[in-house]
Structure 1
Amino acid sequence: MPKLTVLPHPQLCPQGAVLEAPQGVSICRLLLDNHIELEHACELSCACTTCHVIVKEGFSSLPEATDSEEDMLDKAWGLTSTSRLSCQAVVQDADLTIEIPKYTINHASENH
Structure 2
Amino acid sequence: MPQIIILPHAEQCPEGAVIEAQVGETVLDAALRHGIEIEHACEKSCACTTCHVVIREGFDSLEESDELEDDMLDKAWGLEPQSRLSCQAVVADRDLVVEIPKYTINQVSEGH
Q: Shorter-chain TM-score: what band? A: over 0.9
Aligned length in residues: 109
Query: Could you tell me which amino acid in structure 2 is paired with residue 86 of structure 1?
Result: S
1:72 is paired with a residue whose SS is: helix
Query: Could you tell me which amino acid in structure 2 is paired with residue 88 of structure 1?
Result: Q
Structure 2, unpaired ranges of 5+: none
Partner of 2:51: 51
Partner of 2:17: 17
TM-score w.r.t. the length of structure 2 is: 0.96
> Per-residue deviation at 1:21?
1.0
> Per-residue deviation at 1:69?
0.1
Query: Could you tell me which amino acid in structure 2 is paired with residue 36 of structure 1?
Result: I
Q: CA RMSD in A?
A: 0.4
Structure 1 residues 1-112: aligned runs within 5 Å: 1-109=1-109
Runs of 4+ residues deviating >3 angstroms = none
TM-score w.r.t. the length of structure 1 is: 0.96
1:108 is paired with a residue whose SS is: coil
Identity value in percent:
61
Instruction: Write out per-residue CA displacement over residues 8-58 of structure 1, whole angstroms, 9 at most, x where no aligned residue.
Output: 000110000000111000000111111111100000000000000000000
Structure 1, unpaired ranges of 5+: none
Aligned-partner Cα distance in 1 for 2:31–2:44: 12
